Amino acid sequence: MPQLTVEELKERIVNKLKTDKGIDILDAQNKDIYYVIASIVNEEIMPHWLETQKKYKEKNCKQVYYLSMEFLVGRLLESNLLNCGMLEHSNQALIELGLNTEQIYAVEHDAGLGNGGLGRLAACFLDSLASLHYPGHGFGIRYRYGLFEQRIIHGNQIELPDYWLNDHYAWETRKEEEAICIHFHGDVHMFKKNDGTLEFKYENTDKVMAIPYDIPVVGYKNDVINTLRLWSAEPVFQEGNHLTEESHYYHVLDHQHSIEQISGFLYPDDSSHDGKVLRLKQQYFLVSSSIQNIIKNFKQNHQMSLKRLPEKVVIQINDTHPSLAIPELMRILMDQEHFSWDDAWEVTTKVIAYTNHTIMSEALEKWPKGMLKHLLPRIYMIIDEINERFCKGIWFDHQELREKIPEMAIIADDQVHMARLAIVGSFSVNGVARIHTDILKKKEMNLFYSLYPERFNNKTNGITHRRWLLQVNPKLAGLITDIIGPQWIQRPKQLISLLKYTKDSSFLEKFDQVKRKNKQLLADFIHDRTGILVDDQSIFDVQIKRLHEYKRQLLNVFHIIYLYNELKENPNLDMIPRTFIFGAKAAPSYHLAKEVIKLINKVASIVNYDQDIQGKLKVIFLENYNVSLAERIIPAADISEQISTASKEASGTGNMKMMMNGALTVGTLDGANIEIKDLVGDPNIFIFGLTADEVLHYYHHGGYNATDIYNTDDRVRRILDQLNHGEFGSHEIEFKDIYYNILSHNDPYFVLKDFEPYIETHELVEQAYRDKLTWLNMSVTNIAYSGKFSSDRTIQEYVTDIWKIKPV
């Protein structure tokens, strides 16, 4: 893109305000400025967007489509400016116009179309695909409401609707002319044709239109613009339809409303699967519109038989949520393109690849067979046939697995098991960190692994270093560039050159100043939001992620209560002040998770105002944790809490973001923490607690007794008794549920078991922090090795091992 100068940008902003909005710059509000800049960026993007599409068509290249129910995009203005190469000049232009850049960026409402890691990963992948010149696009849903907005009232989480589309969304283009019709329900009729083959016709289906809204995905300074296409559900418009003599306008409205519900809101439950029919509708809506679109594109771009689809298309499904892509592609190939079963199956299983993101059994999707059959009769028939053939295949060709058929069947105990469907119907199955893939192979999916060993592979997650370092921490990025040059921006592995400076005291001093400045900024923000003053010299100890028992925010709280108890007994205790910072949303129906949020807030309200402890502890819960809040917190973190029960966190990506910004990890040997540890080495990370093998051994063989720990460890007993006696509650029974969950359910996530090693590890953290140079050295060492966790590396691995696409 041609570089606009600061002067040109200023002129364009001023003129555009006048001509588009009739506003003089002196009277312009931040919102006016925001839309004007977004529109300038769009004007720069549009020609390249067209150009990119044209190129992909001309070159006849293979494309990847990333199907995901979630894309957690966050804000786009600053990152689009960055990737277009306009950020510096535009910031300068705004400053010269007397405007506040931060306030202008803050006008944009986060696109919160995801729950957490899985959705943010999808957004990082799109950024890397475009930045590496790959033809790859996202398909998702344009939810009217994204993930709920969280308010904390009297310590409790309250959920409010996320009205993210109330102001016009600057980055989307509605493409009505490319709408696609989706069919639900109806009757399926089967005919035998003269040649003996079968033909299927559907009648009385409920039709819904899928309208695409396209969002440009801007590659980093390379003029590549890919597309994130989000589908919105609307009624089929036919003149006078639905208007019979008996029907009233409100029936029409009712009908319209029920259709719009399909893209109405994002399900906020990422911890348990409950088979809600609307969620199933959403999944099929995404899948059917996307697959139809992909086939249409293929036919437009290539003059070849659909049998060659795998040469030109690969579809990655983000978890099982879009796994109906398998029967949907089969349906289109057979019923519309007249493929035989075998030909359709051959194509489908060469096109679809599946990523697994969790082994938590509660989250594994299973749909009641009756529900699927009623909503999607033809799709159900196809799944049934896939299942029959699969089970027969085992029976005849894999006698060693015969008795395992009930555990492997796609349809079993009246449920359709989506992970099994996804494995059987795809050519690649990947986990998202080494340990996670190993557990899939050895445990969770071992039977399938024995059947299809070549399908299983690992792709350790990554994050885009452009957003998570360059954009969110410009001071650190600048310092890095000053010392090792700018090559790391294109090749993040070159951050490794920082190793030469881990003992360079003048560099470390500058690094320290950057961290300090970032901490001051966060402290100001915290003061602004909560009224609480935090000491920017204290250790910023950060845990930001969805609230879930397995992520063990509770262990963190127990540490805080322990320290508080210590300080109450000995107020002069020599300790470095700590600021514990939390951000976490709980699924609205997840009672225990909400109790933990309340506990954090109640502990905060006691600790933060207790004069006895002389400000040595502060506990901050920042409400409504989302991408934009993460962007503020991460550059200021000293400690990154990654303390899941080993074996439970598939990968984690917050661990990578914080490492890249110089925070040190306190973590278990779980997910990608293990790969972080392998790189930085034991001296540069704080590892504690049970290993995955130990955890799994306890689960299978017993031998853990939480009550023993309660009885023998005074610190633990004191904390649990404090909860049981309502010491942190406003009434006596508050927090009893937490107490009983640990003692009556034998502490299912090993909080008590890992308590002591966790406390001891934090003592080591404190010791390390006292030695400033050592700490800074560790911190820079972490940044130096963080290049491996750029999603550019991850995407390159997907490309080489799975997608086999070429850069354009």
Residues that bind ligand 26V (CB under 6 A): 115-118, 121, 267, 269-270, 273, 319, 357-358, 363, 365, 432, 461, 649-653, 671
Q: How far is the CB of 719 from ligand 26V (least distance, A)?
A: 27
Catalytic residue at 519? no
- 798 vs 63, 351, 462, 711, 778, CA distance in Å? 13, 14, 12, 50, 31
Nearer to ligand 26V, 619 or 650 (CB): 650
Nearer to ligand 26V, 101 or 271 (CB): 271
CB atoms within 10 A of CB 97: 15
Nearer to ligand 26V, 112 or 652 (CB): 652
CA triplet 176, 181, 185: central angle to 5 degrees?
150
Q: How far is the CB of 70 from ligand 26V (least distance, A)?
A: 7
Q: How far is the CB of 18 from ligand 26V (least distance, A)?
A: 46
Catalytic residue at 546? yes
Q: How far is the CB of 193 from ligand 26V (least distance, A)?
A: 40
What is the C-alpha separation between 124 and 136, in angstroms, rounded? 12
Strands (E), 361-427: 366-368, 411-412, 415-417
Give, to the nearest 10 degrees, the angle between helix 736-744 and helix 714-724. 130
Mapped onto helix, strand or coil, the DSSP state of residue 201 is: strand
Helix (H) or strand (E) holding 240: none
Nearer to ligand 26V, 85 or 671 (CB): 671
What is the C-alpha separation between 621 and 601, in angstroms, rounded? 7
Catalytic residue at 551? yes
Q: How far is the CB of 548 from ligand 26V (least distance, A)?
A: 8
Q: How far is the CB of 321 from ligand 26V (least distance, A)?
A: 7
Nearer to ligand 26V, 187 or 362 (CB): 362
| Phi and psi torsions of 253, nearest 5° | -65, -40
Catalytic residue at 201? no
- 647 vs 26, 319, 669, CA distance in Å? 57, 18, 8
CB 219 within 8 A of CB 83: yes
Pairing of strands 225-235, 206-218: antiparallel
Give, to the nearest 10 degrees, the angle between helix 736-744 and helix 591-607. 120
**Selected catalytic residue, list 551, 585, 616, 753:** 551
Q: How far is the CB of 366 from ligand 26V (least distance, A)?
A: 10
**Selected catalytic residue, list 348, 645, 653, 781:** 653
Nearer to ligand 26V, 653 or 781 (CB): 653
What is the C-alpha separation between 288 and 53, in angstroms, rounded? 22
Q: How far is the CB of 127 from ligand 26V (least distance, A)?
A: 15
Q: How far is the CB of 550 from ligand 26V (least distance, A)?
A: 9
Q: 691 exposed, middle or buried (CB, 10 Å; 0-12, 13-18, 19+)?
A: middle
Nearer to ligand 26V, 206 or 797 (CB): 797
Nearer to ligand 26V, 650 or 669 (CB): 650
Nearer to ligand 26V, 269 or 343 (CB): 269
Residue nearest to ligand 26V (CB): 117
What's the residue count for the chain? 808
Pairing of strands 428-431, 456-458: parallel
Tokens read off for 678: 């392998």
- 505 vs 7, 329, 489, 636, 774, CA distance in Å? 40, 60, 24, 21, 11
Tokens read off for 735: 């927090």
Catalytic residue at 279? no
CA triplet 104, 108, 114: central angle to 5 degrees?
150
Nearer to ligand 26V, 433 or 629 (CB): 433
Q: Please list, in sequence order, all residues whose beta carbon lies within 8 angstroms of the beta carbon of residue 692, skipping any fewer than 6 positions away.
A: 435, 439, 646, 647, 669, 670
Nearer to ligand 26V, 363 or 412 (CB): 363
CB 416 within 8 A of CB 369: yes
Catalytic residue at 464? no
> Which candidate, 235, 297, 240, 242, places its Cα nearest to that of 261?
235
Q: How far is the CB of 279 from ligand 26V (least distance, A)?
A: 6
What is the C-alpha separation between 341 and 328, in angstroms, rounded? 13
| Long-range contacts, 675-682 (Cβ 8 Å, 24+) | 675/433, 675/434, 675/460, 675/788, 676/782, 676/785, 676/789, 679/785, 679/788, 680/778, 680/781, 680/782, 680/785
Q: How far is the CB of 62 from ligand 26V (least distance, A)?
A: 24
Which of the residues are catalytic?
A: 357, 545-546, 551, 653, 657
